Amino acid sequence: MKQLVFIIFVSILFLIPNYQSDLASIPNEGDEIQYWEIGYGIFNSGEYKREVINSNIDENSKLELGYRRGEPVYPFIIASIMRVQNFSNNIPIENCLSVRCDAFDEEVELLVFLAYLLKISIVILIFKNLNRRFSTFFSILLSITLLLMLPIEYKDLITVFLLTTSIHNYYKQKNWSLFIFSILPLSNAVFLYLLPFVFTIYFFHKKESLKKWFAVMLVLLLPSLMWMTRNYLTINEFSITGRAAEVLSIRAEYSTNSFEQILAGYIFYTPAKPFIFGSIQGSLWSYVIDSGSDILYDRSNSNSSYKMAKNLTGAVGSRLEIVSFESKTYTEQQKILNTVSTDLIKENFSQHLLLSTVFGYRGIFPSINFEFTEFYSLPENISLFVKEVLSFLRLFFIPYALLKSLSNLLNKKVSLSSLFLITLWGFFAFFTHFIPRYATHLLIPAVLFLANIDKEEV
């Protein structure tokens, strides 16, 4: 009990800076604000649509924009919070220019509070599992490191929480665990592809009956199929979300990089900490600059592969000039984008395969939030020491767990958590550019695998 109280106390100390920051910034510009607009649309009209305050968007466009961010779990949570705070009243938006408005302050406060409860819950659960295998001191260090690598984005945090509880409960409350697994694709559509793949391999290894496999597949996919049917009836699209083509177009743009630039990607994505990594990166950085890769891999640069894909100013965009792309509806644009991106990847398949190793490498280093060092004004030497220790501990998570999982797989030792780790890593490496927030999805299966949560199955 003392250990849990201590881990909660320390977690709160580390979370205070981010908690205060989130109260002032949520909803953030970009993806976050779009989920809030959908949440408001659900609250205001009962329909899953993106209600952009103070705009003249027509109803059909609102529904299509809602489908663009089609994973409904997070928007429904936002809408539920709005309803709890305004049970019999509407939210007064007369003086609001957007959903980022003082009228939503109470909703923001409740959502932030719930989000940080999720973070602490994850850390407690992970600590309890780690402490069964490792010393208390080492378990605390790993748990705090995990805390500082948890997603900043609330949508991803909810996904990580669902993944934590589903894997953790699989060997104790299988039916409850399968139900939670079935909700995962409605939080992140990636799991619509991964769940059938992982459980098919796992059941094959366990020599489970075809009847049991079919029953489990039905449970895992039923909520998603119901939501996809709703999308088909509403906007004639049988899928969870409409963003897959956009992600694929970004990857297609990267596939046009030269082999020299692809090689430079390893240097670019090597983290600056621990210090030995930074030293290696620094000594090779001239190669990155000479190849122009410092621009191509910098997401904020207008000439980067990412920005050229998003703004359609690069290789993908040039393929769209022959089509009246801008005059199409959103769903029509996504179909065209998907076709063009797929063709571009096929033409540059060798680069695509090599990029998978680069982005796979990138994905083993989730970002660590060091904001607490500035918030508490730690002396520079102590701050540097803490950052080095946490950066070394980060290597214990995905890199070590991935190597161990692959080794076990080659030796025909299969566990559910290791399968999730390998397949998530492979999917993000092969189909995306593996931004750090994607890597946070690997943390839970990695640490639960290392904690031997499913050791009886290995």
- Global pTM reads 0.94
What does the pLDDT look like over 218-268, one tens digit per residue?
A: 999 999 999 999 999 998 889 998 888 889 999 999 999 999 999 999 999
Q: What is the pLDDT of residue 242?
A: 83
Every domain of the chain and the residues it spans: 244-362
Query: What backbone torsions phi and psi does residue 364 show, to the nearest 5 degrees?
Result: -90, 0
* pLDDT reported for residue 458: 37
pLDDT given at position 60: 86
Mean pLDDT computed over every residue of the chain: 92
**Tokens read off for 47:** 């329909």
- Supply the pLDDT for residue 61: 85
Long-range contact set of residues 417-422: C-beta below 8 Å, sequence gap at least 24: 417/167, 417/445, 417/446, 417/448, 417/449, 417/453, 417/454, 418/445, 418/449, 418/458, 419/198, 419/201, 419/202, 420/163, 420/167, 420/194, 420/198, 420/445, 421/445, 421/446, 421/449
CA atoms lying within 13 Å on the CB side of residue 110:
14
CB-count exposure of residue 64 (10 Å: 0-12, 13-18, 19+): buried
205: amino acid identity, one letter: H
Cα separation, 331 vs 243, in Å, equals 10
> Per mean pLDDT, which range of 50-54, 116-120, 220-224, 258-262 is the poorest?
50-54
How confident is the model over 302-321, as a mean pLDDT?
A: 90
pLDDT digits (tens, 9 = 90+) for 320-343: 865 577 777 777 888 888 999 999
**190-204 pLDDT tens trace:** 999 999 999 999 999
pLDDT band per the 50, 70, 90 thresholds, residue 457: very low
